[in-house]
Amino acid sequence: MRAIRPTPEEYTFSYAASEPDRPHVRVATVRVLLPAFDPWLLFLVFVLTFGGLAMLFSASYAIGIEQYQSPFYFVIRQAVWAALGFAAMLWVSCLDLSRLRAWSLVIYLGVLILLAAVLFTPWGMTHEHVRRWLKLPFLPPFQPSELAKIALVLVLAHCLGLALQHAHFSWWTWLGVVALSAPVVGLIFPEPHLSTAVLIVLTTMVMVFLAGAKWRQMGLVIAGVVVLSVFAYSLLTPYQRERIKSFFIGGDHQGSNYQAQQSVRALKEGGLWGKGFCQSQRKLFFLPAAHTDFIFAIIGEEFGLAGTLLTLSLFGCLIFKCYHLAHQCADPFKSLLCAGIGTLLALQVLINIGVATHLLPTTGVPLPFISSGGSALLCTLLGMGLVLNVSRSPREWTWRGHDEDIARRRWHGRTHLPGVSHR
């Protein structure tokens, strides 16, 4: 990536003392002004979004014709959400992150109010025995749980960034993390939405680990989470417990494992190169939720192993970019923000593909950018807007090794000065 050449005023030099018998080593820090956006990051977002729209049309046109008399019903809805998502992404990418950080707690409290409104107000919508959507006046239905993922990452990055700045990670920091994540999980779990609750817990644990939590603390907290998980199993609905049991002990052809069996069959029938675009047979009412939770199986059936590897490569590059930006940031808040968004994206991809390949119990985690779901797509693009915002920030680089090499080449501790040339 080409960087704008900094002005002399942007150079900062410091001198670090070395061993007594060695000369001082100069450490130069330069603030490098970057382009408006990371071009590769933006390119990957566009490819996954528009490729997802094409894949969604292939996976949903049959059910669209049957239920809504239009093969373009789902893809048009997704395209509208994608347009709103890109507008939100560009808007967030141009905000002042310091101001957004100052408002992170207010945003978090606002999302908690929306989650509570789903459960306790008439605006909450129930569909197929689950209550996850909020229908406000003059707005389409949306899932506040998707927005809660981004809001929690934002406020955790703020709080953990403060702990990193003070270089002190104690049990009080853990108490703050629990106080922020527990209300979100407590409001999402009864919807019921077990997969999103697990996703939030895992993302929180990864962010805390990256913030420098001690190993002993991590072990004790993980043990506590396991104990709470055993207790939470008794609170699951009957169909959730049946899915977990059928994953471990197996199920009949028409039972809880039916979707997973059809998904694996679709991946096998795809072979190496697949059957071709729009040529899948499993989506013709053999595989339920083919356009949402099991769209990865349709990718494998139509484009084969090559198509699934290409999809995984695109996701891998995008996740790598998020972590790479996190590694380069000198600000702990920005670093944790990129790492949190990257972790959230990676876990959703792993869980969705794990379900499609029958490596995990069947659960409702959409494949980012591709699965049908306007709220999920909008919030995913919103998260990418935060990462793009970080990519626009000037970064600090330190050239220590180069100056140490120069110091080693000095003779008798004296700097080698250039000779005076005669004019």
In a domain, 19, yes or no: no
Cβ(80)–Cβ(300) below 8 Å: no
**Partners of 15 in the beta sheet?**
26
3-state DSSP of the chain: CCCECCCHHHEEEEEECCCCCCCCEEEEEEEEECCCCCHHHHHHHHHHHHHHHHHHHHHHHHHHHHHHCCCCHHHHHHHHHHHHHHHHHHHHHCCCHHHHHHCHHHHHHHHHHHHHHHHHCCCEEEECCEEEEECCCCCCCECHHHHHHHHHHHHHHHHHHHHHHCCCCCHHHHHHHHHHHHHHHHHHCCCCCHHHHHHHHHHHHHHHHHCCCCHHHHHHHHHHHHHHHHHHHCCCCHHHHHHHHHHHHCCCCCCCCHHHHHHHHHHHHHCCCCCCCCCCCCCCCCCCCCCCCCHHHHHHHHHHHHHHHHHHHHHHHHHHHHHHHHHHCCCHHHHHHHHHHHHHHHHHHHHHHHHHCCCCCCCCCCCCCCCCCHHHHHHHHHHHHHHHHHHCCCEEEEECHHHHHHHHCCECCECCCCCCCCC
Q: How confident is the model at residue 138 (pLDDT cuts 50, 70, 90)?
A: confident
Task: Give the β-pairing of 130-134 and 124-127.
Answer: antiparallel
In a domain, 211, yes or no: yes
Strand order in the sheet with 25-32: 11-16, 25-32, 395-399
In a domain, 180, yes or no: yes
In a domain, 292, yes or no: yes
In a domain, 383, yes or no: yes
Buried (b) or exposed (e) across 158-171, using 16+ Cβ within 10 A? bbbbebbeeeebee
In a domain, 64, yes or no: yes
Q: Please give the pLDDT value at position 22.
A: 52
Overall domain count for the chain = 1
In a domain, 247, yes or no: yes
pLDDT one-digit tens code per residue, 186-240: 999 888 888 899 999 999 999 999 888 888 888 888 888 888 888 877 777 777 7
Q: Please give the pLDDT value at position 36.
A: 64
Range of the domain at 335: 35-408
Report if pTM > 0.75: yes
In a domain, 15, yes or no: no
Which of 74-88, 188-202, 251-265, 400-414 shows the lowest per-residue confidence on average (mean pLDDT)?
400-414
Q: Please give the pLDDT value at position 9.
A: 41
Span 318-339, average pLDDT: 91
